[in-house]
Structure 1
């Protein structure tokens, strides 16, 4: 079963969620920190207001008494010069009647709206603190604009949030690195499991796996052991059955053919012909089962390179000798074309026999079956047929799969070819229409290491 490229990645999902959760927790911590910072800043600013007002009271009273200005009209008072910079704190010194006696440079000329009562008081734009002298004849009111506090809070928030813009990507990359290293054994186990099929049932080495993955590897190994046992039993049964059936089937077929010859002109001749056809199909099926068992036994490779062109010549010649119309099977190859590879001659001959046999049986009877050998490969076998769809091409590759044909067949030929070519590091490519034609069917043998 092929994995979909759009399937979600566990690693990507883990990295994404860890990064998102980490960023969320950081943002939550910064948000809670800002709430605490706002409260602490309010306490600090309120304390500063109180300290400033209480320190100004004796200074203002002393200055007023020294200059004998208590009770003077506001128009007689002058404010001190300023450097022109904005004052963060402004104040007014007022008498019991609420008149302004002294004010800071940026303080308004009109009295503050705060009442002449000691303590904190707030308006929409200012926080006030009022302090009075001992006989409560002079009041000092100091005001702090809320925009100053908001500016301090914004600067504090920027100081906390800006580093996160750098830290979140950095931590994301660190999480990616750590997670990739942590899940590497999972990837190694996945790749090891992907290699397991009917041709590779060796146990997985679990010694280097973390303990969390060892039960999975142990389960896969137990499954592989049961699969090996089942496959061995199946191959042995198939090989033994096919081998044991060949002799009695051949004997029965010979006797039936003799009977058919003796029943010339007899009304029983038709039944004898049917028995002969059935025995022929049974003999053919037994042969295919024997080929399948040999293919699954792994006979595809050889220790040294062999001349596969010679094997092709022998197989084509053998078919032509047994055909009523030898000219229907045509071998085409350039002069001197060679094909060599370290594969089994017997296995390659089985591949060629199945493909040529399929072309002769299922191809259009009045069109030739052509076998092409190019220098160094590939080998192409074409026959006449209506154009087949991609779905039909995929269906006939399956064991016992059949296309749109009325001809007899076991449905095992292409399955045997696929198995043997897989062992030879090759592949079978089916195409319709055939190369250079508007119709037909083509089976192409490609050996990847050539």
Structure 2
């Protein structure tokens, strides 16, 4: 079905169908003309044979009369093709006087009139002497006529059955050659995505395709400009938002150090907690904005193990749950993958935060580095259904948990990984366990 839905497939289908239909029409027309020509040839043979047999029949009958012999039914010398061509000599009363070897003694079902007629045995030609007393009727077998027409039609059709495949192969070659620029342009456009917005290179294209190439390049240029503007805005707004929030949080903490037990301290702690939640939410929203702006799009490479080590070290220094994190694999190996180190660090930090926040309290969070560069984060958690796993990928969607969170971590991670041409695989239960949750970062194999 895929081939038929393509432009080349439809051209092949229509051209092949049209050519085949035209060939069949030509064969049918040729068979019709041949049938008419064969009819004329057979009619000529009938007439010539009958007219040649008239004097022979008269001579034979005259010889019998001179000899005084009784009129007897016999046969004249056999003619070429007599098995298919039969004849009878009849008198004016319709009696059969002579007949060919293959003819029945019963008179033909044809009138005693000079000319052609149709009988049950086939087409009949009747010739007579000058007096109109002796009639010679010749019949060419209808089956033989039909067989000759069928063989002639097959002789026309069989070459066509050989020519059509050759024609289809030629059409396929021509269509592929003519549409090769279209395929090249399609492949070039298909390579364009969030990770590749470079203009399409100037190639030799037909006049009809050049406007498409120019329009696509103009669109790509506009997209690059928009993405660059979004990146610049995101970078600037990140600093603009972090600074006042950090200042407000610092002032609140300073106020707490000056207050003693009482209603004012309680309200100040509530403000501190609210500011901390707002700071975390703002950080997630900024990460999401950066992901939407395509910060993960880059032609650079980074070392997976190096970034994992760095992120784990940061968590161990700043998190109260540092002892829960366990790192597995060859952390000293050099595992270069396409992408941006900062972007991958954002992805890894979100996944580890989720594992610490939503995993069972006190249970370890295992980070595995595979030789292929893939990274698995596994934590203890109740088993989730396939629908629940799918819902986790949606923005602002959270599982069955009472822990604080914005529901953006997995969405941000998945978006950034897609820009790095990697994928995020979620599993519950974790492979090799009866429970647990696993998030695996899968990189494409290097070329």
- The normalised TM-score by structure 2 is 0.85
The Cα offsets for residues 205-250 of structure 1, whole Å up to 9 and x where unpaired, read as 3542323333333333333233223222222221111112211111
Match of 2:56 among 51, 56, 59: 59
- Distance (whole Å) between structure 2 residues aligned to residue 432 and residue 23 of structure 1: 57
Cα pair 1:337 1:374 within 8 Å, conserved = no
Question: What secondary structure, in the 3-state scheme, does the structure 2 residue paired with 1:243 have?
Answer: helix
Match of 2:119 among 123, 130, 137: 123
Q: Which residue number in structure 1 is paired with residue 142 of structure 2?
A: 146
The Cα offsets for residues 50-105 of structure 1, whole Å up to 9 and x where unpaired, read as 12212222333344335546997542x53256599752211222222333333222
Q: Does 1:44 align with 2:41?
A: yes
Q: Does 1:338 align with 2:320?
A: no
Cα pair 1:74 1:100 within 8 Å, conserved = no
Question: When the two structures are aligned, how many residues end up with a matched partner?
Answer: 443
Q: Which residue number in structure 2 is paired with residue 191 of structure 1?
A: 187
- Distance (whole Å) between structure 1 residues aligned to residue 234 and residue 245 of structure 2: 16
Stretch deviating more after TM superposition (63-72 or 408-417)? 63-72
Q: CA RMSD in A?
A: 3.3
- The normalised TM-score by structure 1 is 0.85
Match of 1:94 among 86, 90, 97: 90
Q: Which residue number in structure 1 is paired with residue 409 of structure 2?
A: 413
Q: Which residue number in structure 2 is paired with residue 156 of structure 1?
A: 152
Q: Does 1:19 align with 2:16?
A: yes
- Distance (whole Å) between structure 2 residues aligned to residue 408 and residue 279 of structure 1: 14
Q: Which residue number in structure 2 is paired with residue 103 of structure 1?
A: 99
- Distance (whole Å) between structure 2 residues aligned to residue 444 and residue 174 of structure 1: 50
- What is the CA-CA distance between 1:150 and the residue it aligns to? 0.6
Q: Which residue number in structure 2 is paired with residue 361 of structure 1?
A: 357
Question: What secondary structure, in the 3-state scheme, does the structure 2 residue paired with 1:381 have?
Answer: strand
Match of 1:251 among 241, 247, 251: 247
- What is the CA-CA distance between 1:170 and the residue it aligns to? 2.8
Cα pair 1:300 1:420 within 8 Å, conserved = no
- What is the CA-CA distance between 1:159 and the residue it aligns to? 0.9
- Distance (whole Å) between structure 1 residues aligned to residue 212 and residue 382 of structure 2: 49
Question: For the structure 1 residues 164 and 404, does the alpha-carbon distance in structure 2 shift closer, same or farther, using more than 3 Å as the test?
Answer: farther
Cα pair 1:337 1:376 within 8 Å, conserved = no
Question: For the structure 1 residues 45 and 300, does the alpha-carbon distance in structure 2 shift closer, same or farther, using more than 3 Å as the test?
Answer: closer
- Distance (whole Å) between structure 2 residues aligned to residue 70 and residue 143 of structure 1: 31
- Distance (whole Å) between structure 2 residues aligned to residue 297 and residue 14 of structure 1: 42
Question: What secondary structure, in the 3-state scheme, does the structure 2 residue paired with 1:388 have?
Answer: coil
Q: Which residue number in structure 2 is paired with residue 236 of structure 1?
A: 232
- Distance (whole Å) between structure 1 residues aligned to residue 10 and residue 239 of structure 2: 55
Q: Which residue number in structure 2 is paired with residue 384 of structure 1?
A: 380
- What is the CA-CA distance between 1:187 and the residue it aligns to? 2.7
- What is the CA-CA distance between 1:317 and the residue it aligns to? 2.7
Question: What secondary structure, in the 3-state scheme, does the structure 1 residue paired with 2:250 have?
Answer: helix
Q: Which residue number in structure 1 is paired with residue 424 of structure 2?
A: 428
- Distance (whole Å) between structure 2 residues aligned to residue 366 and residue 382 of structure 1: 14
- Distance (whole Å) between structure 1 residues aligned to residue 191 and residue 67 of structure 2: 101
Question: For the structure 1 residues 6 and 283, does the alpha-carbon distance in structure 2 shift closer, same or farther, using more than 3 Å as the test?
Answer: farther
Question: What secondary structure, in the 3-state scheme, does the structure 1 residue paired with 2:44 have?
Answer: helix
- What is the CA-CA distance between 1:387 and the residue it aligns to? 2.4
Gaps of 5+ in 1: none
Cα pair 1:337 1:375 within 8 Å, conserved = no
Q: Which residue number in structure 2 is paired with residue 34 of structure 1?
A: 31
